[in-house]
Amino acid sequence: MPARECSRTACSRPAVSSLTFVYEDSTAVLGPLSRSSEPHAYDLCREHATRMTAPRGWELLRVAGGGEASDDLVALADAVRHRPAPTQQPSPPAPGDPRGSADQGGQSERHLHVVRGTDD
């Protein structure tokens, strides 16, 4: 299977990163190259990934991942899409609420959280 190329016009360098957009949050997520070509993601070579900037008014999240392919980029974009607004604080479950129970029938919810560095 041939290596995927950069999605930028007239660039034929090999792709090393995948870029996706979370439109409702005005966020662009740039991370490791996804294992498979995603229809709503853009594959970028090292040069274009390094020079990538977010559109005005948007936030760019750079996800470290070295040169290894990942399936986590879409999961990360979904997590960003579903994160609470910055002013919202999730309220703790009320006493007796099954969502607050430590045992949820063997099921536990997993969530990705965006952690911002001090220089962001």
Highest mean pLDDT among 28-42, 69-83, 102-116: 28-42
98: left (phi over 0), alpha (psi -120 to 50) or beta: alpha
Q: How confident is the model at residue 90 (pLDDT cuts 50, 70, 90)?
A: low
Q: Identify whether the C-beta of residue 18 lies closer than 8 Å to the C-beta of residue 43.
A: yes
Regarding pTM above 0.95, the answer is no
In 3D, which of 23, 11, 3 has the Cα closest to residue 49? 11
Percent of the chain topping pLDDT 90: 38
pLDDT at position 120 over 60 = no
The predicted pLDDT at position 30 comes to 93
